[in-house]
Amino acid sequence: MATPELRTLVIEKEFSHPPEKVWRALTQGALIKEWLMDNDFQPVVGHKFSFRATPVANWSGVIDSQVLVVEPNRKLSYSWGTLGLDTAVTWTLAATATGTLLRMEQTGFGPDQDANYKGAKYGWTKFIGNMERVVSELR
């Protein structure tokens, strides 16, 4: 069997705030909770932690992570594993004339599925939907 080709999701956005400030929002637990999820993150390579949302049916609400890279104000990476998906999330910060270009790469997705399979999300869409809903209730 051929090795499945892994894919990467990339999202980039420029913020009108300096990298030092964006870095704080990415690395201070209380701030991470404000925009992402409750967590016990520490900016220490090797630190094992989890992101936690309220559990829903068939999902513990837990994302298992470990810090992989910490380069203050420049680069942060951690593993992101839940629901059988094992990926890594990497944040890259680059100073611009007016603020920070923030790039998020999530790597480790399996190969693209046949278009016929795209509609067959069933429970998964609901899990993610629930996660969204639950997290917004936390705020």
Partner 1 sequence: MPNPATDTVFKALADPTRRAIFERLTRDGRQTVHALTARSGVSQPMVSKHLSALKRARLVRHRREGRETHYSVRPEALAPLVDWMTQYGAFWRDRFARLENLLDRMD
Q: Is 109 in the site for partner 1 (CB under 8 A)?
A: yes
Q: Is 24 in the site for partner 1 (CB under 8 A)?
A: yes
Least distance to partner 1, CB of residue 29, Å: 13
Binding segment for partner 1 (CB under 8 A), chosen from 38-46, 62-70, 71-79, 81-89, is: 81-89
Nearer CB in complex with partner 1: 26/70:
26
Token pair for residue 103?
Answer: 């790039």
How far apart CA 76 and CA 36 sit, in angstroms, is: 15
How many residues touch partner 1 under the rule CB under 8 A: the total is 41
| Residue ranges in contact with partner 1 by CB under 8 A | 7, 9, 11, 13, 15, 17, 21-22, 24-25, 31, 34-36, 57-59, 83-85, 102, 104, 106, 109-111, 113-114, 117-118, 120-128, 131-132
